[in-house]
Amino acid sequence: MMAFVATAVWGASSLLLFTGLPDRDAGRAFAAASAQEGPVQMEAVTLTSAEQEEIQDGHVILRAVPSPGLKGRTYEAVGILAGNLEEALAIVTDYRHHTEFMPRVERVVVTDESDAVAIVEQYLKLPLGVHKRYRLRYTLRRGAEGFRVDWVKVPWPEVPLSQSVVETSGYWQITRFGEGRLLAVYHVYTDPGRVPLGMKGLALSLSKHEIPKVIERVRERLRPPQNSSP
């Protein structure tokens, strides 16, 4: 049976979930998360009891995250993947194939790449024929229990703001979650800037609808192909 390493916060209905591991590993994981040691600083994932049931049933939950003082919106999707860390890492950092699972991305150009950092230009195709593009810097950090890939928007002087977004940033955080399973968090902040009249509601609706699909598409890529019947 899997044991959650958790401590109660904000009342009994909300749990601060560090990870899900077999009992023999629970104490070690809790100590590492509490001390925040090692090369990667994992964010604690807060899940209510109802949310825990949702993800255990295979659903991907979507949550709006408060962004005080910022004009944009922050959302995160949380779900469980079947696979190992290396497989998930290979998919998330395969920037040249982000068109296959990132929403609205129609083209990607990797201009610089090392083991830990990549500079990636993304071209987006939005509703009503709107196109946007921006340059991101991805940074990978790894730990014994998982990895985190952060991204931030970086200057692209040749692209006017009218063809880009004001700001976007976020991260992937994927950690061990018991035998053969991973807990995935896809967290993204976007300030699109000026939105054409009448388009704001549509833009927000699309964002909320598409963010959980990112985890679902990664889950599909992790799923081994089914053997055909003889």
CATH number of the domain residue 138 falls in: 3.30.530.20
Query: Residue 35 domain-assigned?
Result: no
**What percent of the chain shows pLDDT beyond 70?**
73
Position 45 in a domain: no
Amino acid at 86: E
Q: Report the distance separating Cα 12 and Cα 26, nearest Å.
A: 21
Mean pLDDT across the chain? 79
- Sheet containing 146-154: order of strands: 61-65, 73-82, 181-191, 167-176, 146-154, 131-143, 117-125, 105-113
pLDDT band at 5 (very low <50, low <70, confident <90, very high): very low
The DSSP 8-state label assigned to residue 177 in this structure reads B
Give the number of domains in the chain.
Answer: 1
Report if residue 26 sits inside a domain.
no
* Domain hosting residue 95, numbered range: 59-222
Residue 175 backbone phi and psi in degrees, to 5: -130, 160
pLDDT at 135 over 60: yes
Q: Which of 95-109, 119-133, 144-158 has the lowest mean pLDDT?
A: 119-133
Asked whether residue 136 is assigned to any structural domain, the reply reads: yes
Q: What is the pLDDT, as a whole number, of residue 227?
A: 55
Residue 16, domain member (yes or no)? no
Task: Give a yes or no: residue 74 inside a domain.
Answer: yes
**Alpha-carbon gap, residue 188 to 184, rounded angstroms:** 13
For residue 116, give the DSSP letter: S
Write the pLDDT tens digit of every residue in 179-210: 899 999 999 998 887 765 545 544 554 566 88
96 within domain boundaries: yes
- For residue range 25-38, list pLDDT tens digits in order: 333 332 333 333 34
Residue 44 lies in a domain: no
What's the CA gap between 107 and 97, in Å, rounded? Answer: 9
Under 8 Å CB-to-CB from 90, ≥6 apart: which residues?
none
DSSP letter for 213, please. Answer: H
